[in-house]
Amino acid sequence: MKRNVCIVVAAATALAVSVGCDPGDEPAPEEIDEQFSSEYEEFRLTAIAGPFEHPWAVQPLGEDRWLVTERPGRLVLVEDGGDQIREIDGLPEVRADGQGGMLDVAVHPEFDEQPWVYLTYSKPEDGGETATALSRGRLQGEALEDVEELFVQNNSFSSGTHYGSRIAWNEDGQLLMSIGDRGDPLQAQQLDDHTGTILRLEADGSVPEDNPFVDDDEALDEIYAYGLRNVQGMVVDPDIGQIWVTDHGPRGGDEINLIEAGENYGWPLVTLGLDYGTEEMPDYAEGRRMEGVVEPVHEFLPTHAPSGLALVGGEQFGAWQGNLLAGGLRAQRIRRVVIDEYDGDYEVFHEEELLLQQIGRIRDVAEGPDGSLYVVNDAENGQLFRIGAP
């Protein structure tokens, strides 16, 4: 499985190319290096590495190194500004099926001293089923070592949908991880099932003593919040610890939620989403609001199909500081979302579309240490892009 190849993708002198915009028209893995204007910032979009087979996540390791997962089951290390791509050995076994496979990648908050790489993926279980799982291993050269499985959800499914699996770190160095509903919506309301939740774990996989349900014998200790459908975007504000997620709903039910300990986000009883066939509220839904269910801070309309989520923290794009950047699959764009407090609640003040139909389906968005933003697109021949200085 080793792919000892170095692919030169982006020459410094690469010319801008025009990219087709038909929704079904995936851009070729070409040398994209193009300048864009937006409402308050200019930026340059540069393809820095590829092709990747359905890349799912990008984790910057510095200004010039990135880890990228490929959904069929690979983790690759991109170096030298994109010129070197090396496949990493020693990964846990994955069953790639439908939306499942090798999914998110994150590194320990003190990666320089503790070079742990965390991976989420669809783990093979009995009877052809899969469960969303979390493992970590130390990155040593081109391999993971001391690999240990930290968590496997307590239920497995034959469906190939809604794995969730996004990872984020909170300000206390604890790991947050999402698990989707695996196509079994009502399970998201069951506290004895990890499906449809956000989990909180210590960096070694143990359960924090103050997790909200540790004293509830009928609930699983790892659960931090529940009632979610398929959270593929999660980011923590490093200053104040707020946990922002994007939950990928059924048609029109895409949400931004602010996650708080022990809360129920309502899926599938409460949703704005519509049945794909009838344009009615789905059968299992009971309304748009419900006592005891936290309302979303925002509902994306039209349908966005949110994937990875970043929070702009750096100085490079000063006008975007504090904004969320929500990747969109079906929508083929990034939505910049300006959220602020008003009358004691968080509300969306503004949204802007970035990269509309420029690079196809957006799968992940992440900020690098220099304030540049990194994006992977969901395609057979996906690429790693930088949104950087113009």
Indicate whether 269 belongs to the interface with a copy of itself (CB under 8 A): no
Among 40, 145, 148, 204, the residue binding a copy of itself under the rule CB under 8 A is 40
Decide if residue 318 touches a copy of itself (CB under 8 A).
no
The correct pick among 80, 204, 347, 380 for binding a copy of itself (CB under 8 A) is 347
Q: Can you tell me which residue has the tokens 């770190």?
A: 169
User: Judged by CB under 8 A, does residue 214 bind a copy of itself?
Assistant: no
In whole angstroms, how far apart are CA 226 and each of 196, 283, 324, 363? Answer: 6, 20, 22, 23
Q: Choose one: 120-128, 156-164, 226-234, 342-350; the region binding a copy of itself (CB under 8 A).
A: 342-350
- Work out how close the CB of 17 gets to a copy of itself at its nearest, in angstroms, rounded to a whole number: 13
Q: Tokens standing for 41?
A: 């910032």
User: Which member of 54, 108, 162, 298 is catalytic?
Assistant: 162
Nearest to 5 by CA among 144, 104, 117, 142: 142
The CA distance from 34 to 50, in Å, is 17
**Pick 159 or 357: Cβ nearer a copy of itself:** 357
Select from 30, 129, 353, 370 the one that contacts a copy of itself (CB under 8 A).
353
Residue with smaller CB distance to a copy of itself, 75 or 270: 270
Active site residue 162: yes
Report the distance separating Cα 30 and Cα 10, nearest Å: 9
Query: For a copy of itself, which stretch binds (CB under 8 A), given 4-12, 81-89, 174-182, 351-359?
Result: 351-359
Q: Describe the chain by its helix, strand, coil percentages, rounded to 5.
A: 5, 40, 55
Name the pairing type of β-strands 130-140 and 243-247: unpaired
301 contributes a contact to a copy of itself by CB under 8 A: yes
Q: How far is the CB of 40 from a copy of itself (least distance, A)?
A: 5
Judged by CB under 8 A, does residue 59 bind a copy of itself? no
Q: Is residue 30 involved in binding a copy of itself (CB under 8 A)?
A: no
Give the nearer residue to a copy of itself in terms of CB position, either 284 or 349: 349
Strands 33-37 and 373-377: unpaired
Q: Is 271 in the site for a copy of itself (CB under 8 A)?
A: no
Nearest CA among 97, 129, 260 for reference residue 195: 129
Going from the C-alpha of 44 to that of each of 9, 37, 156, the distances in angstroms are 16, 9, 43
Reading the block at residue 171, the tokens are 């300000």
Q: How far apart are CA 116 and CA 68, in angstroms?
A: 15
Q: Please give the residue ranges that form the binding site for a copy of itself (CB under 8 A).
A: 18, 21-22, 39-40, 251-252, 272, 274, 279, 287-289, 301-303, 319, 335, 338, 342-343, 347-353, 356-357
Name the residues annotated as catalytic: 162
